[in-house]
Amino acid sequence: MGRRQVRRLLTERCIPMGILLLTVCLVTATGQDLLLIEQDIRDLSGSSLLEEVEVVYVSTDWLLAVGDSSFANGSDVVILEPGPVELAGYSLVHLRTPGDSESAEAVGEVLLCRDRVALVRLGEETSILPVYPGVHLVQPLKVYSRSALEPFRPATLDDPVITGIVDAVDEDSLKANIQTLEDFETRLCITQQFYDACVWVRDRILFYGISADIEDFEFTFSGTTYTSYNVVAEKPGLIGSGIYAAQAAANGDSIIAVINLDMILFAPDSLRTLFVPYDTQSTFLAFDMDEISATYVPELDVNIQYAPGVTYSDHASFWQNGFPALLGIEAGVNENPFYHLETDLLANYLEFFPFGTECAKAAIATLPYMQIHCPKVSRAVSPVSDSE
């Protein structure tokens, strides 16, 4: 039995029979206490505790929620902030170094710091910056609902169509596309270069015969309203993906799988692995990507891991809205000396190829496989009214 089969067998045996799947509600929790619950959410499926609270963040063996503290009579539930709380006054800070509360303090008052995540209380005049030293992402708290998505599995792995698609991936073309985007100098969402990059991406997709358009929307950041576009950009706080995923949920769109590749070019020999964290609703998608990668890109080492607390990239917006999604990220992202710096350039990653190409092939193999072999899934998500 190979490494992937052993890992899959062990992981499957750890999955409880009742699987709780969560999606985000477009509401703001108010008037209740902010709670730390020291439990694996998979073990709470069907429990009365989850009927009493609104979940706002899920980690591997703990979660944050808002609710009435009157039921918090055990050691598993801790009151972090007595109510009434307004979620807009708090943020999650994803840290590059475990336990780095000092970096989190640049954002707000630290209420909790666990591993690479800190919960902070924002000051009345706090303006969230796009980048903080030592920080992956500053993420607003959002309330989850209990919409479920049935798991799915492909029937067979061997498919000549997928083999042909993977074989068509050209590394020189991949590098050229990266270089073109790099030549825009910035894709920050308030710049002209950002819009120019959007147009280029749209035209590139149209060139391949795929329908594409630039979707505009407005968002407010640090008190200023901007017009942005959902094609390609650097946006603070997962704003673009959050708006797209919420709209898809409200429209009842059928999204079988989302794969978000974020930082896949840094791969020194000791860290030459694609890390793929997943949440409960994405369990089988993660298993399938692992085996699909082993079939079509056997040279790539893939490490799938149940890690619902890894929400510092755009896959999290789809998790929160009830769609199965995966993040694919270089295992050495926290050791990457170029991360979020002006030196984050293609030239500094050339020595690590073909790792980036292999990561792209794994994603490219997985998505069409899901489309071909998995039945369409209807996601009926009922929008929450303003009165709720």
Inside any domain, residue 191: no
- Count the Cβ atoms, other than its own, within 10 Å of residue 319: 28
Whether residues 288 and 325 share a domain: the answer is: yes
pLDDT for res 290: 93
Both 268 and 159 in one domain: the answer is: yes
**Looking at the domain assignment, is residue 109 inside a domain?**
yes
* Average pLDDT per 10 consecutive residues for the chain, totaling 388 residues: 39 33 38 88 78 88 88 77 91 94 95 96 78 90 60 60 94 96 86 89 90 80 75 61 88 91 96 96 91 94 95 92 95 94 95 98 92 57 32
Is residue 344 assigned to a domain? yes
Residue 44 domain-assigned (yes or no): no
Around 138, how many Cα atoms within 13 Å sit in the side-chain half-sphere?
Answer: 25
> 12 with 123, same domain?
no
| CA–CA distance, 68 with 31 (Å, rounded to integer) | 9
Of the CA atoms within 13 Å of residue 347, those in its CB half-sphere come to 4
Q: Are the beta carbons of 64 and 37 closer than 8 angstroms?
A: yes
- Strand locations in 15-83, DSSP E? 23-24, 33-37, 53-58, 63-67, 77-81
Q: Are residues 166 and 303 located together in one domain of the fold?
A: yes
The per-residue pLDDT for 62 is 94
Enter the DSSP assignment of 188.
Answer: B
| Same domain for 376 and 334 | yes
Say how far apart CA 259 and CA 32 lie, in whole Å.
35
Coil, strand, or helix at residue 265? coil
Cα–Cα distance measured from residue 313 to residue 196, given in angstroms and rounded to the nearest whole number: 23
Helix (H) or strand (E) holding 273: none
> Which residues, listed in sequence order, are joined to residue 261 by a DSSP beta bridge?
328
Those residues whose C-beta lies under 8 Å from the C-beta of residue 323, and which sit 6 or more positions away, are: 23, 149, 245, 248, 249, 255, 258, 281, 379
Res 53: pLDDT: 87
**Which CATH number do you get for residue 336?**
3.40.630.10
Residues 333 and 304 in one domain: yes
Please indicate, yes or no, if residue 198 is contained in any of the structural domains: no
pLDDT, residue 82, reads 92
Q: Are residues 133 and 280 in the same domain?
A: no
**Residue 59 lies inside a defined structural domain of this protein:** no
Q: Are residues 135 and 156 in the same domain?
A: no
Task: Report if residue 82 sits inside a domain.
Answer: no
In a domain, 345, yes or no: yes
Question: How many other β-carbons are positioned within 10 Å of the β-carbon of residue 162?
Answer: 21
SS3 (DSSP) at 228:
strand
Q: Report how far residue 42's alpha carbon sits from residue 295's, in angstroms, rounded to the nearest whole number.
A: 30
Residues 342 and 282 in one domain: yes
Domain shared by 9 and 97, yes or no: no
- 14 phi, psi to nearest 5 deg: -90, -5
**Percentages helix, strand, coil for the chain, rounded to the nearest 5?**
35, 20, 45
Task: Specify whether 166 is located in the same domain as 278.
Answer: yes
- The answer to whether residues 367 and 277 belong to one domain is yes
Cβ-based neighbour number of residue 37 at 10 Å:
22
What total of structural domains would you count in the chain? Answer: 2
Q: Tell me which residue range forms the domain holding 301.
A: 1-17+151-170+254-381
Answering whether pTM is above 0.75, one says no
